[in-house]
């Protein structure tokens, strides 16, 4: 397996690289726009397992960078069998307060970049009969306040991925999205550093805990793998049951008696 991962230095991207390398990936191309020291340290760690790792700085907000990433990956790895579109940003705001520049930047990075990445990778994925996994969000499945343009962009990413799945199925390319719920990453450390808030979030999740990046990486690795060879066009929500639990919090509903 030869895979490109964007936003790979931390969090879900980093966990995905570790998971794929542990599963025997032949080569990985890891890119990010920040935390490049951490990206290089990750690459050095992965190389000790025998995985060939190439790193590069890429800004997914720039329209030419996704194609540049793919070209570099093909040169470094000799081909591509999978891409993980993990790079993304959020800028919480009310829609009435959003400015056009912020709206465009959120869509450019969360949506346009993934289209351009997959578009550039298409001929190589067609050759390898490869797979695409795009990182959407639970906030792309249902509106979450006050995410501003983030929920709309992640919802659009789900549809973009489904379009890829349908259009490119005759080429042997699979495309799926993963929609994480609450995940404790370096970006959310400020939240989970508050014990009361961390417990409150975990209590909302039917499985009783907030996800680790590795939980999401496991789902990504599965969708890239041959075990998912008949799965395409799906948006896999990985949230511990949170998005299906709203009725469990309905005021006035009697609890089920014990033993029933």
Are the beta carbons of 130 and 117 closer than 8 angstroms? Answer: no
Domains of the chain: 2-181+213-239 (3.40.50.720)
Task: Report pLDDT digits (tens) over 201-226.
Answer: 999 999 999 999 999 999 999 999 99
* Strand, coil or helix: 147: strand
Grade residue 12 by pLDDT with cuts at 50, 70 and 90: very high
In the sheet with 27-32, reading across from the earlier edge strand, the strands are: 52-57, 27-32, 2-6, 82-85, 131-135, 174-180, 235-238
Give the per-residue pLDDT at 257: 55
Q: What is the pTM of this model?
A: 0.94
Please give the average per-residue pLDDT across 173-185, as a whole number: 97
Kindly tell me the burial class for residue 194, based on how many C-beta atoms sit within 10 Å of its own C-beta (0-12, 13-18, 19 or more): exposed
Evaluate if residue 22 carries a pLDDT over 60: yes
Give the per-residue pLDDT at 42: 98
Give the per-residue pLDDT at 254: 62
> Does an H or E element contain 127, and which?
helix 113-128
Partners of 85 in the beta sheet?
134
Task: Report pLDDT digits (tens) over 72-104.
Answer: 999 999 999 999 999 999 999 999 999 999 999
Evaluate if residue 146 carries a pLDDT over 80: yes
Q: Where are the beta strands (DSSP E) in 78-120?
A: 82-85
The DSSP symbol for 176 reads: E
| Residue 150 designated active-site | yes
Grade residue 259 by pLDDT with cuts at 50, 70 and 90: low
Grade residue 229 by pLDDT with cuts at 50, 70 and 90: very high
The mean pLDDT of the chain is 95
Catalytic-labelled residue, pool 35, 150, 192, 230: 150
Are the beta carbons of 161 and 220 closer than 8 angstroms? Answer: no
């Amino acid at each position: 397996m030869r895979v490109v991962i964007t936003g790979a230095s931390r969090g879900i991207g980093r966990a995905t690289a570790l998971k794929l390398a542990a599963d025997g990936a032949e080569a990985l191309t890891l890119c990010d726009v920040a935390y490049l020291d951490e990206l290089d340290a990750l690459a050095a760690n992965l190389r000790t397992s025998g995985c060939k790792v190439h790193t590069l700085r890429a800004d997914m907000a720039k329209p030419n960078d996704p194609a540049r990433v793919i070209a570099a990956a093909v040169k470094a790895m000799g081909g591509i069998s999978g891409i993980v579109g993990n790079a993304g940003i959020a800028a919480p705001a009310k829609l009435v307060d959003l400015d056009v520049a912020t709206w465009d930047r959120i869509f450019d990075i969360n949506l346009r970049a993934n289209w351009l990445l997959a578009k550039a990778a298409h001929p190589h994925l067609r050759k390898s009969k490869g797979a695409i996994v795009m990182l959407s969000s639970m906030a792309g499945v249902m509106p979450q306040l006050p995410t501003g343009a983030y929920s709309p962009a992640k919802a659009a990413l789900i549809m973009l991925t489904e379009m890829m799945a349908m259009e490119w199925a005759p080429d042997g390319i699979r495309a799926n999205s993963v929609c994480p719920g609450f995940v404790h990453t370096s970006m959310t450390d400020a939240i989970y550093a508050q014990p009361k808030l961390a417990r409150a979030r975990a209590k909302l999740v039917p499985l009783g805990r907030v996800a680790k990046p590795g939980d999401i990486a496991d789902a990504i690795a599965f969708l890239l793998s041959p075990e998912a060879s008949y799965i395409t066009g799906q948006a896999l929500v990985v949230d511990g049951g949170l998005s299906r639990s709203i009725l469990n919090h309905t005021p006035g509903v009697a609890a089920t008696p014990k033993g029933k």
